[in-house]
Each structure stands twice: as structure tokens, then as C-alpha cells.
Amino acid sequence: MAESNECFNIGSTVTCKTCFNEDLQGEVLAFDPHVKLLTLKSPSSNGRSATYDIHMVNLSYVSQVTVMREAAGSPLPSLPSLNLSKLSNRAKKSIDEKQRLIEAMQSGVSPVGQKLFLHIRKTMEEVKWAGVSILVMGQVIISPPYQIENVKEQKEGKESNSKTLPYVKKLVDKFHQDQQSLSLNNGTSATPVVAEVQPVSQ
């Protein structure tokens, strides 16, 4: 068996001697050290120059591997540096948001409130929970039961934008229209029919 700590660079040319005493030579296309699987590309056995033979070699069944030629090529370009501070802030923001959602659900937020929250988030990014109320852009608050008349300007929030309140009201109105249409299509809002039974005279 070949050494388990072997490492093969993509593009190198190697020769393998299998347990059947067969020699395979080819260019390394891929190598997975965890399962010891080596993928080689060799000239086609049918003689066609436009095609290749691909060999999947399990190194557990190989007695010897020899690197005939190392891959020749320019070094890989350096990767751009990551803004770790920005990534950390985004992760913290995401965790905080999910924590607020959990707290809101534990506080008794209705399914309608949860759906409305997600509906608004599709359009506006700055949406968060304030207890069981939905705070949008720090300017508009939607209180239970989350109807259009429950959409109010947040007095203690950011400086108000005159377009934010009417826009959020439109989103809430559309949400409830969509919910109503969905209920009608599913037949959940249909008025139940009660048959009146008249006494039959003998």
C-alpha cells in the first residue's frame, strides 16, 4: 500500500503500481487524502487525441506511487484579505435577530405577526422585534393584532421619513389581502352551511 501521508499536486505526473502488478501513469486531476483516492488522466487507449482515459485509483490497493514530474505552473494568486470585523458584526447581528425572534415567539407573538415580519423583511432589511411589536426602520411600529390601523409612527425612534409610514401601511395592507385570498382559495373562510330541518307532520 502507498504511504498514507502522500500528497499529490494537481497537474503532476505520477506512476502507480497496482496490486495486480499493473502500471498506471497519468496526470493528477484530483486527490482526496481522506479516502486515499487518486484521479489520473492518461492518453486515450483508443488512440484518439481529443479524448482521455480517466482512472480512479484507490491507493489502498497500490504498492508504489512515483512522482515522475511535479506540476509546473505559476503560483496561485493570493486571496483577498477578509474583513473579520465586518464578518463578526454581521454574525452578531444575525444571532441577535434570531434571538429576538425566539424571544418574541416565547412572548406570545401570533403566527400572523410572525408571517407579517417575514413578509416585510423581503422588502426592507431594517426590521426587528420590539417585544411583540414589529419595528421598521426605527421609525414605524406595528403592534398586535398587526392590522393596518396598528401601524403607527414611532415617536421615540429615528428622525421620521415622510414616505416610510405610508409605505409600511401598503405592505401590511398587501399582506392581509394576500392572506385573505389564500384563505378563500383554500376554502378556510367559507361560511359554513347549516341545513334547517323542518318538522314533518304525520
Confidence band for 48, pLDDT divided at 50, 70 and 90: confident
Specify whether 63 is located in the same domain as 103. no
What is the rounded CA–CA span in Å between residue 103 and residue 106?
5
> What's the pTM?
0.45
What would the pLDDT profile of 50-109 be if each residue is shown by its tens digit? 788 898 888 888 888 888 888 776 555 565 677 888 888 888 888 877 777 777 677 788
Rounded to an integer, the average pLDDT of 167-171 is 95
In a domain, 152, yes or no: yes
What is the rounded CA–CA span in Å between residue 12 and residue 14?
6
In a domain, 80, yes or no: no
In single-letter form, the type of residue at position 140 comes to V
Question: Structural domain of residue 25, as residue ranges?
Answer: 13-69
Specify whether 54 is located in the same domain as 129. no
Specify whether 65 is located in the same domain as 107. no
Average pLDDT, the chain: 80
In a domain, 63, yes or no: yes
Q: Please say if the pLDDT value at position 119 is more than 60.
A: yes
Cell 431594517 identifies what position?
A: 126
Q: What pLDDT, on the 0 to 100 scale, is given for residue 109?
A: 86
Retrieve residue 32's grid coordinates. 482526496
3-class state of residue 72 by DSSP: coil
- DSSP secondary structure letter of residue 62: E
Q: What pLDDT, on the 0 to 100 scale, is given for residue 176?
A: 93
Specify whether 63 is located in the same domain as 132. no
Across 133-137, 178-182, 192-196, least confident range: 192-196
3-class state of residue 162 by DSSP: coil
In a domain, 154, yes or no: yes
In a domain, 76, yes or no: no
Cell 506540476 identifies what position?
A: 71
Specify whether 19 is located in the same domain as 55. yes
Task: Please state the domain count of the chain.
Answer: 2
In a domain, 86, yes or no: no
Beta-carbon contacts of residue 16 (< 8 Å; ≥ 6 apart)? 2, 23, 24, 25, 38, 40, 57, 59, 62, 64, 65
Alpha helices for the chain (secondary structure H) = 84-106, 111-121, 164-186
3-class state of residue 43 by DSSP: strand
In a domain, 52, yes or no: yes
What would the pLDDT profile of 5-37 be if each residue is shown by its tens digit? 467 888 889 999 888 788 889 999 988 888 888
Do residues 33 and 94 touch, judged by C-beta distance below 8 A? no
What is the rounded CA–CA span in Å between residue 26 and residue 15?
7
* Percent of the chain whose pLDDT exceeds 70: 81
